[in-house]
Structure 1
């Protein structure tokens, strides 16, 4: 075989390889990010804002009714990432879960509130003495009640706290089994607009009202570029949502069956935005964490800095 023939065959083989390579690349499966979603949560945000389109990875969604089962799945390694309130995350972390926080959003503190029924004789926090207040254990509700009582100079022993999740608490509140309810949006909007409840005290000056994006530690090692992209998409989603409340409410209403006007009120009240996971946020949550230990919301004192990975960045606005 002559040198010319050999060179021609090599060139043909090389050209065939170049022609085949795009097809080979297209055949490669996309990496997967397993995301835990609370109904009407981050999935609704990403889809409504179009941030779920053209992702360089595939999202495998799992739906959860609340933060507690989502964090259980994350702890077990059944998820890569999920979002929940700051105290819910810190409570599970304090119990030794192999999880870290990598992203954060902040809502207006007024989106948390202690409610009383329409016609209730309770007009001030002092009127809660001898009364029963519903709140979720180990989270925003329990913390808000204790912080409000402390701010008003009321001994917490003078108020009975009923540890109830949102669904059970709603039934107890409406039936009169409890006198007040510490809860957050969109439940606040539902109770005020649909059932005539009154806000006795909101969370302003009492709570950070931060939600965290948390991950299993293995995800930090194996899927860091995916997490970075996911966090940027979330930020862009929240930037869009603040300027498009009606569209966001309409999309979420279709998923949750919560009436659109109630969601509009809730989103306007929350005004949620992505915030950097930086030293200032860590210091703020350290103070809240120490307070939460005193309130019995967290089981032990922790170093919040050790629970965070601050290496991820947000997109430039």
Structure 2
């Protein structure tokens, strides 16, 4: 559910760019019923959630959904901060950085369990690097403030290296692929479609985040959504529908949905089916309500970034989680 451009714009600049969009969308107008609701929802890479809902015939929502595509969950959270999105999906990491200033305008409202496959450190065709230890002193691209940042750090530790042992280059997925193929970096830590594309171009895997990452992907909602009962109900319903849609796919329809995936990720249908089947076997996509275990999992990640020096001080992640959607989500599921 990810895609692969240009070096990351500073958060302040991206926020400034998003503000006119937020204004044009009028923020989130107060809704008295679900029929009055328009949820602005983020998607990473391509609109896989919209596609799976349509495939499962569950896109007939009583509310409107406006999907917007971003290169990563970090940009989705920046859009939420700029009031340009109502609901964002991401790994555990983007909310940590979006809340680090102590003034988040969102809460994590649900957990979507998902696959951690296609989260890899890759090297280009012909590289002599065969493992993470071989990255010492080399230029390594990574997608900053994402799962790639986290699993690269953990893989380096496992190999007896520190972050300072590599020449780390923060790059967005598209830029990382171009840099890898152009020879300006020796390896690239990324995820999803960018990893799939890298392999199509001859790249090989030297490290994987599959067993490092928790598989918890978070739904974050703007505070204003949680203050409006119709919007809150709509958000819970949408999250539940996505769970039901993936269950529909797993009920013997993987081959058919793989055709939709292949069309959007530009890979052979057979490869798309193989990846989809492996992902759903590893960890079926399904939503869960907020609990202490999920919060503790993100706290572990946040502490790692504090140790890395990416956060100025320890962050108590519980401060931006809420159980406010639990009752609605349980009912919708």
Shorter-chain TM-score bucket reads 0.7 to 0.9
Equivalent residues of 1:114, 1:181 under 8 A apart: yes
Instruction: Map residues 1-317 of structure 1 onto 2, 5 A cutoff.
Output: 30-38=36-44, 39-53=46-60, 55-95=61-101, 96-192=103-199, 194-222=200-228, 223-243=231-251, 244-255=253-264, 257-271=266-280, 272-276=284-288, 277-311=290-324, 312=326, 313-314=329-330
| Offset, 1:127 | 1.0
Are 1:185 and 1:270, in contact at CA under 8 Å, matched by a contact in 2?
A: no
- CA–CA distance in structure 1, aligned partners of residues 109 and 220 of structure 2: 6
TM-score of the superposed pair, with normalisation by structure 2: 0.78
- Give the secondary structure class of the aligned counterpart of 1:109: coil
Hey, what's the Cα distance between the residues in 2 that align with 1:267 and 1:186?
12
List runs of 5+ in structure 2 lacking aligned partners.
1-33
For residues 259 and 135 of structure 1, the distance between their equivalents in structure 2, rounded to whole angstroms, comes to 26
- Shift in alpha-carbon separation, 1:132–1:315, aligned structure 2, 3 A: farther
Q: Secondary structure at the match of 2:127?
A: coil
Cα shift at 1:180? 0.9
SS of 2:42's partner is strand
- Provide Cα deviations, 1:248-275, integer angstroms capped at 9, x if missing partner: 2322344454553443344334335124
Counterpart CA distance in 2 for 1:296 and 1:314 is: 38
Q: How many angstroms apart in 2 are the aligned matches of 1:265 and 1:186?
A: 14
Q: 1:160 to 1:103 in 2, by over 3 A?
A: same
TM-score by length of 1: 0.82
Contact 1:189 1:266 in 2 (8 A): no
Q: Distance in 2 between matches of 1:74 and 1:58?
A: 18
Measured on the aligned residues, the alpha-carbon RMSD in Å equals 2.4
**Counterparts of 1:315 and 1:260 in 2: how far apart (Å)?**
36
Instruction: State the Cα distance separating 1:131 from its structure 2 match.
Output: 0.9
Distance across 2 between alignment mates of 1:293 and 1:314: 34
- How much has 1:146 moved relative to structure 2? 0.8
Task: Please tell me whether the aligned partners of residues 208 and 288 of structure 1 are also in contact (alpha carbons under 8 angstroms).
Answer: no
**Are the equivalent residues in 1 in contact too, given 2:240–2:332 (CA < 8 A)?**
no
Bigger radius of gyration among the two? 1
Quote the residue 2:31 is aligned against.
Answer: none
The residue aligned with 1:5 is none
Aligned-partner SS, 2:99: helix
Cα distance between partner residues in 2 of 1:217 and 1:316: 20
1:153-210 Cα offsets, whole Å, 9 max, x none, are 1132211111001000000111221111111123222222x12221111113322243
